Chain A
Amino acid sequence: MSRWIEKNLKWVFPAPAVIFIVVMMAFPILYTAWISLTEWSMSATEPPKFVGLQNYINLLGKDHRFWMSVWRTFYFTGLALAGETLLGLVLAVMLNRDFPGKNLLKTLFLLPMVATPVAIGMVWLLMFEPTIGYLNHVLKVLHLPQSLWLASEGSALPSLVLVDVWQWTPMMALIILAGLVSMPSDPFEAAEVDGASAWQTFWHVTLPMLRPTIGMAVILRSIDALKTFDIIYSMTQGGPNYSTETLNLYGYNLGFGYFYMGSASSLLMVFFAIVMGVVIFMNWARKGALS
């Protein structure tokens, strides 16, 4: 036995990981793909009924709510990502200098990231409350126009983006900061010798060198942002009037609100393809930028 293991060492060691991935990831995906071709209300007495591609045809062809949720998913992700990258870059550059209390500040930065999303949702829900909430109170004291925040179709999704930016900017900042710290110092010295201004140095030296780091951070964050579920579910459940219903929320509603397991699965398969597409595109864009 031990000789056999010795002989097949390179197969034996990764085996647990391979098995884990097959059982926990490949199987659910294949199962979802199968369910997406059926009509099933999760019944124990009626087995799933095979309907071919009908769920996909309905979803892609006729379902207005689906296309709206696709649009909202991208809107949410795009807006959140832009805010997080920009603010994260600014924060990282600021944190890259030496000042007293820097490490303490870095630790404090992590707090929104480690907090439980549902708890974050509940707290922000109270702050957003138009009548008794804190945000409108502050706006009132400052004599600024108040907002309905989550309670109006127009402002609900941007309000959720605000929460996402608050929660995830620190992560972007930390990744970018790591990139800044690991930079060699000679290009900066060369720029200084050539008499470049601070802005020129940042634009022509720092930023190009940071590109791979930012690119990686953006990919990681965009996958996560596309999938956002918990804060939206805990704050609006997709409302008011579906104005915050992203793909994930709609999938949840189809599955657990309406018991349309087939449609929900087909939506998830489409969603899966979208996330894959985004990742492939971003990777390609990143590589293109590098070469």
Chain B
Amino acid sequence: MKGIRRSLAVGLTLVMAASLVLTGCAGRTEEKPTTTTPAASDPAKKPFEGVEIRFLASQHPWTETLKKDIAQFEAQTGMKVNMEVLAENNLTQKLTVELTAGTGTVDVFMQRPLQEAKQFEKNGWYADLNAFVKDSKKTPAEWDVNDFHKGPMQVETVNGKLVGIPLITEQEILYYRKDLFAEKNIKVPTTMAELEAAAKALHDPNKDFYGIVMRGQGNPAVTQFSSFLYSMGGDFIKDGKFAMDSPEALKALKIYGNLLGKYGPPGVLNMQWQQASALFAQGKAGMWVDANSLYLNVTAPDKSTIGDKVGFAMFPAGDKGVAPYSVTSWGISIAKSSKKQDAAWEFVKWASSKEMVLKTQSAGNPSARSSAWNNADGTKSWPKEWVEVAKKSGEVGKPADRPLVINVGKARDLVGEMITAAITDKDLENVVKDRNVKLNELLAEENK
């Protein structure tokens, strides 16, 4: 019996060890760098022949545009790009898991710099793109790093490291129903007071029609609330401390909550931009305040019943003037654990080149390159009014739409709880005081 047991133990261990070794080896051989050095000796050969890279992308109109040209890029370089497109929350989760494993399965990925850059950099997941951008052998002068707007480049720089190339920028604007405004003789609101007056005039809940719709789910609403906060003279963090309990912030919270609570649709507490835009696109709301980059969702004929009646206006002024956010919503990065960084950079360089950016921008994705904005082709397919509003908002805009801490997820949840309390009008002052203390605890922990 003893003998059996011993041989069992030995046998099991052997089998297990063997299976571990085998799987380990298999994984490793796959990851082996497949000649990343350009074959300079043979000019006829494509520089990245046979190299495969994996690109994790977010579901976005930008991605759809880029996808059409990837075949061409593959033909030029001989590279194979395996692209996977995921919804943004799933993308974060997938990145988190794969980058933690650190086995080099991801080469290139899209990220939201304001949300993730600090955390991802802290976790050591980004390759430093300065190494490529500043190397004239890898990046020709015509790619022109100085063509990118300064603000977005700053957001993509963490502790002096360039963690991503900005792809898409956006500003908060006011969408409104031109036809109803004309019919009821309402002036397009330019101040918070006028915004409320317009919402009140349009509100008709008995006919299932609501004055205004915005995001009401706490965490997602934080970014859209930020412009209200800035316009009232507040900010998430002032002098190194959370200032959500300041009179300005409280005022902004009350305005946001009041608009949705009094003139918003029922069920607004469960609304992200998808639900809010759908309601507006179904002709159930008079106004919608959200990012301008989402405009196709309410103007495209296949998504909207009121597409030709949508007007665009600047975010209205608060006590301290007009101050919408103007941010970099998406950038493209290379994983530090990637074993094919040269090939990855070749792809990133191409996706963010002047030519491709002009292409994606003219398809409806506002970029961070001056050349695309200065080129008439870059804006010609967009509604004129929209371009004007975007340009003006860009000039006065604030570079962040959420608290810039490491743990943005938690900070957003806490600010989101304040927004929920503002909308439901329950115990707002106390919730704000309590959550602001918690926010400062979070900040203190991070600065430790």
| B91 CB to nearest A CB, Å | 11
Q: Are B123 and A150 in contact (CB-based, < 8 A)?
A: no
**Bound CA–CA A150/B266 (angstroms):** 11
Q: Which of A4-12, A82-90, A103-111, A172-180 is found at the contact surface with chain B?
A: A4-12
For residue A7, which residues in chain B have a CB less than 8 angstroms away from its CB?
Answer: 4
Q: Are A44 and B123 in contact (CB-based, < 8 A)?
A: yes
Point out which of B210, B275, B417 has the most chain A C-beta atoms below 10 A from its C-beta.
B275
Q: Are B7 and A41 in contact (CB-based, < 8 A)?
A: no
Q: Are B4 and A11 in contact (CB-based, < 8 A)?
A: yes
Q: Are A132 and B279 in contact (CB-based, < 8 A)?
A: yes
Closest to B412 in A: A257
Q: Are B8 and A150 in contact (CB-based, < 8 A)?
A: no
For residue A23, which residues in chain B have a CB less than 8 angstroms away from its CB?
Answer: 16, 19
Question: By the criterion of a CB under 8 Å from any partner CB, how many residues of chain B are at the interface?
Answer: 46
What interface size band does chain A fall in?
35 or more
Q: Are A256 and B96 in contact (CB-based, < 8 A)?
A: yes
For residue B7, which residues in chain A have a CB less than 8 angstroms away from its CB?
Answer: 4, 8
- In this assembly, does A117 line the interface, its C-beta being within 8 Å of a C-beta of chain B? no
Q: Are B11 and A43 in contact (CB-based, < 8 A)?
A: no
Q: Are B269 and A41 in contact (CB-based, < 8 A)?
A: no
Chain B's interface: helix, strand, loop or mixed, by majority? helix
For residue B8, which residues in chain A have a CB less than 8 angstroms away from its CB?
Answer: 8, 11
Taking a contact as CB atoms closer than 8 A, the residue among A46, A148, A156, A256 that contacts B92 in the complex is: A256
Q: Are B125 and A257 in contact (CB-based, < 8 A)?
A: no
| B223 CB to nearest A CB, Å | 15
Taking a contact as CB atoms closer than 8 A, the residue among B122, B279, B284, B420 that contacts A41 in the complex is: B122
With A42-B100, A44-B336, A45-B124 given, is the CB distance from A258 to B409 under 8 Å? yes
Q: Are A151 and B124 in contact (CB-based, < 8 A)?
A: no
**Bound CA–CA A12/B10 (angstroms):** 12
Closest to B420 in A: A241
| A116 CB to nearest B CB, Å | 15
For residue B4, which residues in chain A have a CB less than 8 angstroms away from its CB?
Answer: 7-8, 11
Q: Are A148 and B407 in contact (CB-based, < 8 A)?
A: no
For residue B92, which residues in chain A have a CB less than 8 angstroms away from its CB?
Answer: 256
Proximity bits, A19-48, B CB within 8 Å = 1, else 0: 100110000000000000000011111100
**Bound CA–CA A149/B269 (angstroms):** 11
With A8-B4, A241-B218 given, is the CB distance from A44 to B99 under 8 Å? yes
Q: Are A130 and B267 in contact (CB-based, < 8 A)?
A: yes
Closest to A156 in B: B270
Q: Are B409 and A152 in contact (CB-based, < 8 A)?
A: no
Taking a contact as CB atoms closer than 8 A, the residue among A12, A22, A43, A259 that contacts B409 in the complex is: A259
**Bound CA–CA A279/B7 (angstroms):** 36
| B174 CB to nearest A CB, Å | 21
**Bound CA–CA A44/B119 (angstroms):** 11
Q: Are A15 and B12 in contact (CB-based, < 8 A)?
A: yes
Closest to A45 in B: B124
10 tightest Cβ-Cβ pairs between the two chains A and B: A151-B267, A130-B267, A45-B124, A240-B269, A257-B409, A44-B124, A43-B123, A151-B270, A130-B266, A42-B100
A46-B123, A240-B420 known; 8 new pairs, CB 8 Å cut-off, are: A7-B4, A11-B8, A18-B12, A19-B12, A42-B99, A131-B210, A132-B284, A259-B407
Chain A residues within 8 Å of B, Cβ to Cβ: 4, 7-8, 11-12, 15, 18-19, 22-23, 41-46, 129-132, 148-153, 156, 236-237, 239-241, 253, 256-259
Q: List 24 A-B contacts (CB under 8 A).
A: A8-B11, A11-B8, A12-B11, A41-B119, A42-B96, A42-B99, A42-B123, A43-B123, A44-B100, A44-B124, A44-B336, A45-B124, A46-B123, A46-B124, A130-B266, A132-B284, A152-B267, A152-B269, A240-B218, A241-B269, A253-B409, A257-B409, A258-B407, A258-B409
